[in-house]
Structure formats: C-alpha cells, structure tokens
Structure 1
Amino acid sequence: MAEVEGIAFLMQPTTDVIAKVEEISYCPLDSSASQDECEAAALTATSGNVVGSLQVVDKKNLPSGCSMRQGDRTVYFNVNTHGEKSDCFTSICQLNPSKMPGVVKVKEVSNCPSGLELDQEECIFAGLTAGGYLLRDVLQVQHRSDVPSGCFVREDDNNLYFNTNPNPNVAPLTQYASICQLSSKMPNVVKLDGVSHCLFDSMLTQEECIGAGLAAGGILIGDKLVLQNSPEVPSGCFIRKGDNGIYFNINPSGEEALSHTSICKFKSDVPGVLQARKASICPLGSEYTREECIFAGMTAGGTLVDFNILEDDWNDRPSGCFVEEGGEKTTFFNTNTNGYRNDDFVSICKDEWPCPV
C-alpha cells in the first residue's frame, strides 16, 4: 500500500535530562521537577553543591516550581504558578523524554526549514534534548548576520545560541548546526519506487526535502542534506536504501534506480483523472505512462505495494494503468497493449482525450 508518512521524532534521550536554566519564569513543556523531585534534581544539576533543606514558598517574585538561589545555593519550590524570572534564581528543570519535542541537528543551512523553526524558549529545551549546553546556564541570544538564524549550536563547544536575525547574510557554515523541531506543520509525503522524478507538482524543494525526508524515516548523513548532480539517480529528493540517507539530485534529467526511493508531496488531486472506466484499454491519447500511473492511481484511490505499482504483461486484464475495484485497491500497469476488459479492475485514463463521450 502507499505509505503516507507521519512525523518521526528524532534524538530523544532515554532518561530524564536535569538542567539549570537562568532567565526563565518556569520550566515549560511539563519539564518542572515536582516538589518531591526538586531537591534530588537540584543535587543532580549541581553535583551535590546545594545548601540546607528544600524551602517551599508561595511568591510571585521568583520562578515557579523548582529553583536555586544563586547567592547561598538554597533550593526553593515555588507553588505560585504565576512566578517571574529573577536574576537571583536559577530554575531546575527535569526534561522528560516522552514530553519533549522531536529535534534534529541540521548542518550547512542558514536557518531551519519552514515549519521546523523554534522560538527562544523552545530552543533552550530542544537544544538540551539534542545534547547542547547552556553557557553559564543561559541561552546566548545574538543578532548577527554571520551565523544561522534562530536556534543553533556551535560545534567546537556545543553551546546553544539563538540568532534573532531572520535573514543572515551568510553561506552555510560547517562550524554551526541549526537545531530544528519536527512538527505537525510538515506536509504529508509519500515514498515512491520506480520513478525518475516527482510528477504533477509534487516535487519538493531542497529546503522541504530535509523535513520531508526526516518525516519519511530518512536520516541526515553528517547532519546535512547530501546534494548530487547525477543522471543515474532520481531527480529531486530521495532516500538511498543502503544508508537510509536523505539526498537531493539537482540534475533535472535523473532516472529511476532500484536502490533509491523518491520522496514526493502526497498528491490525491492529480487533475483530469477518469476514475471509473470499465474497458480493455484507454481511448487513444488518454493513456497514462507507467510513472504517471503511480500518481494518477493515488488520485483514483489506488494503493501501492512496497512503494510501487505492480507491473507485468497480462492478457486477461486491461492495458496500461488500472486499479483493483475491490480488496486493497492495488494499482497495476499492464505492458500488454492488447488488453482485455475485466470487471474486477477499473482503467485509469485521462479525461482530456480527442473524442470524449
């Protein structure tokens, strides 16, 4: 069957991550340690360097939840849910992997692909989830034109930064890795074998390929999209089966390859598809090619087997593109030009042909 992929969340740690975070009023994403967990979390975050017993308070002038006063390193738990950030207190957060967003590091981009951006608060926790560090327990906020926009980590020290400049004037830099979030904003995508490129406006851009490829279960080799210029692999976005890496072929004259799976936008609205024609063959001029049949078949409600149509030379089925009327609604392509009408199957034809009825 056609595999319309959901969202794959990456890089989630398997155990809680305890973090000290300054300049926040509370720990978001349900990451605040509970009152019972607070003292133990503070001990973990400070390697045991705390003073006295837990102080439970109800105040608006310090962060909600678990925190530590910087001067004397006393641990507090503020039950007031409307607390404020304070220069004197460091929040103690406990990041539960099951509640953290899926994040991915992407190198050699000037910003996260559309739909994968993080705001400053999200950057702190997504960055920690991705293995980054807070320099002096604070997210380093900058406005620069020579570093990636938004949330990123510097590779040499793994510290987290946030660039408020939405349009940095830089080429992609290898010493930085953007921290991006996979989200429900990503479009549905379909994995297709046996195509040289994505038809009917279903081609992805390079930027879209990163998020769509991750959503389809691919990985970024070296944390980046691998670009190729080859006539021997599919054009556009694809996953190579050997390493499951996400690639983008800029050559517009690519060809299908059994070892590569194209990633396309899911199209269920290919124009001009006659979905219910009982015939041995489509009228002259209304036939779909084998590649077109994959997309037209999906519009007609057909499904794929292992990301492809079933192709053969049958003498008891319609010629060209057709869909099983019952069962799994599998899409087929018959290379036999002397087709045979079979009411178990529906021919898929173009409605723009010279002599319509």
Structure 2
Amino acid sequence: MEKLLPRFLEYVAIDTQSDPYSKTTPSTEKQWNLAKKLVLELHQIGMQEVSIDEHAYIMATLPSNIDKKVPTIGFVSHIDTTPDFSGKNVKPQIVKDYDGEEIILNKQKEIVLSPDYFEDLLQYKGQTLITTDGTTLLGADDKAGIAEIVTAMEYLVQHPEIKHGKIRIAFTPDEEIGRGAHKFDVEKFGAAWAYTMDGSQVGELEFENFNAASAKIQIEGKSVHPGYAKNKMVNAIGIANEFLGLLPPREVPEKTSDREGFFHVHSIKGEIESAEIQLIIRDHDQEHFEARKQLLHDITAKLQKKYGDYITLNIEDQYRNMREKVEPVFHIVEIAKEAMESLGIEPIIKPIRGGTDGSQLSFMGLPCPNIFAGGHNFHGKYEYVPLESMEKAVQVIVKICELTAVQIK
C-alpha cells in the first residue's frame, strides 16, 4: 500500500485529456505518455502477457495460483481525463488529518473547498485528502482506478498465499468522450466478467446506468430587413427558443435525481438564418427513454407544421442500460457486495447517473459492474480523493479475486 499514493501522484502529473473532436484513437497523443509508462510498470511489478495495441489499449495477466479451474475475471479503468476542464500541470495538494474545515485550494484566486457546499467532505474527517490547487482537475477519474488496480495486482504478486484464479486487467483510452470500449477486444481479454474501477465514494456498486442518446436540431431561417419583415422573416433563433420552451422544464439534470431521466441542452448557437441545438437524452427506463425521443419528434413535427420544413432533427443512440446484461449473471454483483461487507464497507447499490465503459462492454459480451474508486467532484477544480478510500478499493479488488477462487465451482 505504501506505493499507492506516490503511484497516483505520478499518474495525475501526466496530462491525458481526451478530445471529442479528434478522429483518432487515442484521441490525443498525450495519452500515450501514461500508457507507455503503465506498460513498463506492469512488467516491473511482475504481470504477464503485458500488451499494448496501436490504439493504446493495455492488457495484462496475473496467472492463477490454484489447481482448480475458476472463471477468469477482469478489472478495467481508463487513462484519459475529461475535456471539460484542464488536466495540464496538475499540482495535487495533500491534506493530512483533515479537520472538517474549509480547505484553501488557491489563496491567490480565493478558491476554497468547503464542507458548507460539499457536505461529503465531513465523512472524511481525520483522513488524508488529495485535492487540486484550484486551477485544474485532479484526475482521480480515473487515475485513482488505475493506481488501485496496479497496486492490487502488485500486492497479489507479492502475496502468493492469497489464492486466486486468472486475473486480467485493462486500461483504455477515451472513456470520457464515450469511446473507451469502441476498440476493446473482448475476445482477447478473455474474461468471463469484469469490474470497472470508476465509481465515486466508498461503497458504490453499480450495475445499471442510463440509456443514452444525443440529438441535434438544425433550424434554417430567412433574414429580411426588420423594418419590412412582416410575414417574410423566419428567425431561426426564435424557433430554437420556441423548441426549447416545449421541453418539460423540470426534466433537466439540475432538477432530477436517482432514476429520474432528463433532457440536457448543452449547446445552442445561432443567427437569424441558422440555429442549432444540441442536447442529450437520458433515462434508466427503456420505455421512458423511447418516449423522450418520441417527444422530440413530436415537437419537431409541431413546429414544422407551423413554420414549414425549416427544422430537422437527428437522434443517435449512444449506449444502453447494462442492467439487462448483468442481471442474468447477478452473482458477479453479489461477489463484489460480499467483498465489501467482509471488509466492513457498506455497499451503496444505486444506478449510475451517467455512462460507463461497463455498459458498452456488457453489451459486447463482457458483463461489467462498476465499483468505487473513491473520488468526489469529478471533472472540475473541486475534485478530491481520500487516500483511505483508495486503499479500501485496493482491498476490495484483492478480496474479489480471493472470493471468486473460493466460491465459484
């Protein structure tokens, strides 16, 4: 465990921000910097069958140390950080024996991490917190997961008395832009099931996620001198505003929780002659998800009837709820749950309000629930992770390997 913190600090110092506008895999060259480092490190700690392909997907094996045949299991994390916030020149701050008060992230810019706003902080009084310096994200999403997996594998190599079957690990690029599983070779990975180490607080265990789609509404207009525009001008901005006004006002991210779905408008731009709305659709329930897509079609049809064919709608499905693929093999969730409980960790089983590589992997034939990595406030300057949470994640990985060898016949 003594290498966990320095290992994590080394990882977050490497900028691996992905780029949604890139057509390559990985989407940014700088992801190779961490990928190549990880390959060397996996060799050094004694992993076998270490490989990296032309798209920076890393895989490695810890061979079984038992005589009986048990399923091969896996652990997966991603090397990239979100394009939403800078991951360059990350300068972590270490707060030992946290006292429950405000943490000054950046005195000069008056950036403070306060339990008055982030109440979860109070769970970690007396612990060691790793925070940002207020100018970048931290990168615990998902370099905490990587550090935990590498540390757990190193621990198992050094403690052969802990019996386990064959373990496979993988690190992927571009998860933050929804492409982490796109070129993942499930057959090569060769695991019966896996776990992504990509959740938040201690105890999180997730096996269902949103159904997801993106939508683009394109509106064309006609520009006419405003003094002579009656019955002639078609203002694309006005139609875009009318379209947004027909969406359910309370079904947005900031007003929903748990299993409630939403529409999220994340981009709108326009002039009189052209406007564009981009939004995402999310819902855990498949029927409700389809109804949300239908509502966009209905609004488009209504406005087309009113204004003519100035409006086009394009909807693309992104990923599906992995629950339908995990439930038939629910013992894989039960093993993770038992692992946590045996370590005194209370499992928090809840749906992911987002996506995960595990969703796509589950539909590719690799059932893949998600386990906590320990971090909070991902994708921004208030991100932090308790060291003790990362240590518990390492312990959970080791225990899952042990329980799989004992329980599965």
The higher-RCO structure (CA 8 Å, 6+ apart) is: 2
**What TM-score results when the alignment is normalised by the length of structure 1?**
0.21
**What TM-score results when the alignment is normalised by the length of structure 2?**
0.19
Higher helix share: 2
Higher strand share: 1
Q: Which is higher, the Rg of structure 1 or of structure 2?
A: 1
